[in-house]
Amino acid sequence: MIMKIKIVLYIVYFFLIGANAFSQIDTVKPMFKISSFSLGFGLLANQSPAISQSDYKKIAPNNSLVNADLTGYTNSPSLIGNGYFNLNIGFNGKNKKTNTYNLRREYRVGFRFYSEDILSVTYDKSGRFDSSQINSLPYASIDSSKSYNYNITTRTFMFDFGTIYQSNPKFLLTGYVGYNIGLGANFSSVASAFLNSDVIIRSGSSYKYNSVNSKIEETPLRNSIVANATVVWGACLRLSKTKKFWSKCMLNIEGRFGVNSQNIPNYKNFTRMVISSHFGFKFLL
């Protein structure tokens, strides 16, 4: 009888130890937890670096339009704007001492996709004369213009890694600052040269427009690597504070400013300043 009681006590003892062990495992939280999911659509702007005709010949040596005589032409790099799509997953890290998650700091992993003109320069030449210089024509004012545009277009897929430091995300309005590092690849890149020549003939109050010559040549380029580093700032507005579902939905606006390093096949690596902004939605998990 005593032996049976001892066996029962041992069973109860080991059961309690096991239950306690499992309860401790249940209270141990993972180092990170998924805190949010966000997506947005925005605009990326950059100043195209100046590129000479001789440099463009290195990129697209078989393009016949790069051999044009550009004597008397003026060139001007352009400000380029392109749309993009981005997606991020946010994580909160655990404080080991308190076994709670830090809601003010969010680690982010995601990606961006966009199509952009990474180099674009136009060479222009214009002139004006009147038909009195040509005896067979009635009097008219004639404006002529001719331009060559050298352009490189690419699609970019980039992975993003960053951290933001935010005010209390439980408030109706949350602001944040942080940083982001991106690494990706350019693909489907094309170097294009475009020729356009126009004539406008004005006679009195009327005028006539003629496109004299128009031509485009494209050269496919190899895939290449792109990387950037930016500072980040933004704000989120919660759609509700009381309703369970809508309290987890937020409108998000974000801006980024930094540097972009890019490689162009047959040319070189170059670095430029970039600025972007996007509007989107953020969902708290």
Q: Answer yes or no: do 141 and 204 share one domain.
A: yes
Q: Give the CA distances from residue 73 to residues 34, 59, 112, 123, 145, in Å, rounded to whole numbers and listed in that order.
A: 57, 21, 38, 6, 10
Q: Give the CA distances from residue 88 to residues 93, 106, 112, 188, 265, in Å, rounded to whole numbers and listed in that order.
A: 16, 11, 9, 24, 30
Q: Answer yes or no: do 24 and 40 share one domain.
A: no
Q: Which residues contact 215 (CB under 8 A, 6 or more apart)?
A: 65, 194, 195
Q: Answer yes or no: do 11 and 63 share one domain.
A: no
What's the confidence (pLDDT) of residue 128? Answer: 59
Q: Answer yes or no: do 61 and 190 share one domain.
A: yes
* Confidence tier at 5 by pLDDT (50, 70, 90): very low
- The 10s digit of each residue's pLDDT in 166-176 is 998 888 999 99
* Confidence tier at 208 by pLDDT (50, 70, 90): low
- DSSP-assigned letters across all residues of 116-180: EEEEEEEEEEEEEEEGGGSTTS-S-EEEEEEEEEEEEEEEEEEEEEEEEEES-TTSSEEEEEEEE
Higher per-residue pLDDT: 216 or 79: 216
What's the confidence (pLDDT) of residue 142? Answer: 65
Q: Answer yes or no: do 101 and 234 share one domain.
A: yes
Q: Answer yes or no: do 104 and 229 share one domain.
A: yes
Q: Answer yes or no: do 106 and 213 share one domain.
A: yes
Q: Answer yes or no: do 156 and 247 share one domain.
A: yes
- The 10s digit of each residue's pLDDT in 11-43 is 444 444 454 444 444 456 788 889 999 999 999
| Number of domains present in the structure of the chain | 2
Q: Which residues contact 81 (CB under 8 A, 6 or more apart)?
A: 43, 44, 45
Q: Which residues contact 218 (CB under 8 A, 6 or more apart)?
A: 190, 191, 192
Q: Answer yes or no: do 66 and 173 share one domain.
A: yes
Q: Domain residues for 81?
A: 31-284
Determine the Cα–Cα distance for residues 39 and 252; give it in Å rounded to an integer.
9
Q: Answer yes or no: do 133 and 115 share one domain.
A: yes
| Lowest-confidence region among 155-169, 170-184, 207-221, 229-243 | 207-221
Q: Answer yes or no: do 98 and 70 share one domain.
A: yes
Determine the Cα–Cα distance for residues 10 and 154; give it in Å rounded to an integer.
72
- The 10s digit of each residue's pLDDT in 110-135 is 999 998 888 888 888 776 555 555 55
pTM of model > 0.75: no
Average pLDDT of the residues in 254-267:
88
Phi, psi of 8 (to 5 degrees): -65, -45
- The 10s digit of each residue's pLDDT in 71-81 is 888 876 666 77
- The 10s digit of each residue's pLDDT in 234-250 is 999 999 888 888 888 99
Q: Answer yes or no: do 71 and 98 share one domain.
A: yes
Between the ranges 113-117, 120-124, 159-163, 260-264, where is the mean pLDDT highest?
A: 159-163
Share of the chain above pLDDT 70, in %: 76
